Amino acid sequence: MAPISTPQTPFGRVLTAMVTPFTADGALDLDGAQRLAAHLVDAGNDGLIVNGTTGESPTTSDAEKDQLVRAVLEAVGDRAHVVAGIGTNDTRHSVDLARTAERTGAHGLLAVTPYYNKPPQEGLLRHFTAIADSTGLPVMLYDIPGRSGVPIDTETLVRLADHPRIVANKDAKGDLGRASWAIAQSGLAWYSGDDMLNLPLLSVGAVGFVSVVGHVVTPDLRALVEAHLGGDVQKATEIHQKLLPVFTGMFRTQGVITTKAALTLQGLPAGPLRLPLVELTAQETAQLKIDLAAGGVQL
């Protein structure tokens, strides 16, 4: 059975930006990726982002990216949205990755704002339009100026929303005021890309989350969004507050680092990191255990 989507929730409501498991020698662990993907979908994810930043996309090759999408589709593609991260700061490269992802069978694309070269808004408009024009797949934009150096302005989001295949935005801008206006004016399906702001963004019109902490607390995230949709604001707030130590702990340092450490503590596939990312120290691991336990995560 194909994963369920609607125009309002084109990729479902709860998605995890999945890490890329590696073997002890640093090679791609496709078996581990399939086992982790199945675990995450079993836990309640509607979809998985593969080859995003949390998947260490800056240090995986194009061939590895394609292999990973194939493996995850084989494992869970009949019951979850498999969205391929294809964003780079080179429009031609992103288009090539998008076409490969479509040929492989991905259900959608995640396109991050081009980083480092700091294009103007017209450049962003043309970049994202070229990606959306290149395939028949739905596109989720990814607005994260803290990493890319450039925000997608509200006016640009509104213009991009006119494209029939640009259907959603992952918001990691950290600005609820700008998000409120952009949601109202663009009509894009809005996904929180900042776990600490999951509940606040729901309150101004977001439909769901693209989460990092979903690796360890997907059932809580699903309960949070369902409580909010059901009008039980108190329960949603209680879940949000319960998860505060997890939100804090998982981002005391770079999120991929803590996520792989947390998965390893739970006996799930993760493996080492590729440089320039490095493992947690013993002291940092001890603090992570405290943070996760405070949020109710079983290790």
* Residue 154 labelled as part of a binding site: no
Give the N- to C-terminal CA distance of the chain in Å, as an integer.
33
Q: Is the dihedral of CA 17, 221, 13, 29 positive or negative?
A: positive
Question: Is 116 one of the annotated active-site residues of the chain?
Answer: no
DSSP E strands, 38-177: 47-50, 81-85, 108-112, 139-143, 166-171
Do residues 201 and 192 lie in contact, with contact meaning Cβ atoms separated by under 8 Å?
Answer: yes
- Length of the chain as a residue count: 299
Question: Is 115 one of the annotated active-site residues of the chain?
Answer: no
The residue annotated as part of the active site, out of 65, 115, 170, 173, is 170
Name which of 52, 43, 41, 44 is nearest 17 in CA terms. Answer: 52
CB neighbours of residue 122 within 10 Å: 10
The residue annotated as part of the active site, out of 65, 115, 142, 173, is 142
* Residue 167 labelled as part of a binding site: no
Q: Which residues are annotated as a binding site?
A: 54, 210
Please give the positions annotated as active site.
Answer: 142, 170
Q: Which residues are annotated as a binding site for pyruvate?
A: 54, 210
